[in-house]
Amino acid sequence: MKKALLGLAFGTLSFSAFSVCNLPQAEETFGRRGENRAHALKAANMYGQYANTVSGVEKAECLTNKSEALYFYALSSNGKRKAKMALYWDAYEAGLQAVRILGDRAGDQKAAVNPKMRGNESALSKAMWVMGINIGKWGKLKGPFSALGKWNKILKPRIKDAYRLDKTVADYGIQRLAGKALLVLGGNINGNSGFDFLREGYQATKHANSMLTRNLATTTYFLEALAKRDDVDTFCDLYDELADVMDSGRNNDSILEETFFLNLPTGGKRGLAPDSRLEYKEFLGEKKVHKHYNREC
């Protein structure tokens, strides 16, 4: 159990560039995170500073964006454990503050949280998601007992809430969050196993002409689920296609962003090359998955 809890990885990004909190300069700055991770921190600070000047839904969405930008900054850090923990905690607290603004209860207790006002379901769901991915990473670094405590008190209840309110936020990020956690911990949420959540996210975001998904982590988490279920043919084909794309796009963002991107409400899309490289690096550390490939494929 200790080893399993230390292996939790709850992330991944799907930054929303167009929302009530619409700061073009911050959005442009975050878009440059692949050039230098410091741009993510700068964007987070810009969102945080603006959040201090507004209220209501606008403030909450700016805090959600701040939390997401800080998540990328922490994830891309090679710093020491305590420094990374502090970053994830700051990001978690920004997300938690957003939940408190939008929700009718505090987001760090077991009791169900609903929006104070109808129409804010999606904003509240996304705030819960970004809060969750950050406290998950914090718990991984803090240790197994802290991770389990946060799972029971915060993560599992918020997953239930977010899935009920709007299960499509962050390009089906709730499914990634729930699925990855349940793959490690076992059990289910409202009857859905980790495989069930990840299959749902995978099927909803898979490209029509490819086995890959818009968000790389949806693919890698699904690969982990397939390895556990011994679905060899699908696993091998998906693993090979992902490896080919990542090799082709090793030094070419445009190649990666043909596959990995976030659809925006405006009809455009945001490329996820920097995020995909970080997520693939984490995937390469999943030794059991690669041993399964070497044995079965």
User: 216-229 and 232-248 helices cross at what angle (nearest 10)?
Assistant: 150
Phi, psi of 206, rounded to the nearest 5 degrees: -70, 140
For residue 2, pLDDT beyond 70? no
Mean pLDDT of 10-23: 58
What digits encode the pLDDT tens for the residues 30-64?
Answer: 999 999 999 999 999 999 999 999 999 999 999 99
Position 165: which residue type? L
What pLDDT shows up at residue 22?
A: 83
**Can you give the residue range of the structural domain that contains 126?**
2-296
What pLDDT shows up at residue 236?
A: 98
Give the SS3 label for residue 10: coil
Q: How far apart, in Å, are the Cα atoms of 135 and each of 6, 17, 191, 226, 252?
A: 13, 23, 24, 26, 32
Mean pLDDT of 223-231: 92
What pLDDT shows up at residue 270?
A: 84
- Entry pTM: 0.92
What pLDDT shows up at residue 201?
A: 98
289: Cβ–Cβ under 8 A, 6 or more apart, which residues? 223, 224, 227, 283
Q: How far apart are CA 10 and CA 67, in angstroms?
A: 14
What digits encode the pLDDT tens for the residues 243-277?
Answer: 999 999 999 999 999 999 998 766 778 899 999 99
Contact 215, 205 (CB under 8 A): yes
For residue 233, pLDDT beyond 90? yes
CA 142 to chain centre: 19
Domain count within the chain: 1
254: Cβ–Cβ under 8 A, 6 or more apart, which residues? none
